[in-house]
Amino acid sequence: MRVGIQFAALAVPFVYALPAWASESHEGGAKTLPQLDVALYPNVLFWLIASFIVFFFLMKKIAMPAMQETIAKRRGILSSDLSAAHQASEEAQSVIKAHEASLFEARRKAHETVGGIVAQAAQEAAAEQERQGQELHHRMIVAQENLATAKQSAMKETQHFVNDLVQEIVAKVMQSGIEPKTSGARK
């Protein structure tokens, strides 16, 4: 496709020049367009080559060194920027590693602290539970002793009250004149 485009670019001027060449051949040497006059070609080629050589040396001696200098400066700036970026990247990586190490250490210390607090709380809870258990056991023993004392006291008082009650009942029965029935006397 590229070759076709190049061929078309070269062929178009010749196609447009055909009517001029045809008219030149019919008129018998009449003046035509100067760019189509073959007699002018050596002169045009000379100036083409001369201007090419002048522009070539101008480019080689003036423009190319300036461009090469600019390219060298840009490469220097680019290499210094790349080295600075690489150094900054290495510093950032070392900062990240130091930050991760300190973060790991802080987490480890936090876990140790929390573990210590949990263990201490568990020990304190166990000690408090043991103390409360002993206190509850002591209170239960004291309550049982108080209950036993109260029971013995109540039993003594009950016997005393029963004896007093029986004596009162017997005294009232004796006063009223009712004789108690005996099961074996009247048969």
The winner for highest mean pLDDT among 22-36, 58-72, 157-171 is: 58-72
pLDDT at 68: 93
Q: For residue 105, give the amino acid letter.
A: E
Place of tokens 């002018």: 40
Query: Cα dist. 39→18, 19, 51 in Å?
Result: 18, 19, 20
Structure tokens at 62: 């003036």
Q: What is the mean pLDDT of residues 1-23?
A: 70
- Cα–chain center distance at 123: 37
Confidence of residue 175 (pLDDT cuts 50, 70, 90): confident
CA distance 76 to 72: 6
The DSSP annotation for 61-116 comes to: IIIHHHHHHHHHHHHHHHHHHHHHHHHHHHHHHHHHHHHHHHHHHHHHHHHHHHHH
- Compute the mean pLDDT over every residue in the chain, rounded to the nearest whole number: 83
pLDDT for the residue 74? 96
Domain layout of the chain by residue ranges: 34-167
The more confidently predicted of residues 170 and 107 is: 107
Q: Which amino acid is at 175?
A: Q
| Residue 171 amino acid letter | A
pLDDT category at 187 given cuts 50, 70, 90 is very low
Query: In this predicted model, which residue has the larger pLDDT, 136 or 36?
Result: 136
Task: Work out the pLDDT band at 36, boundaries 50, 70, 90.
Answer: confident
Q: What is the mean predicted confidence (pLDDT) over 45-74?
A: 91
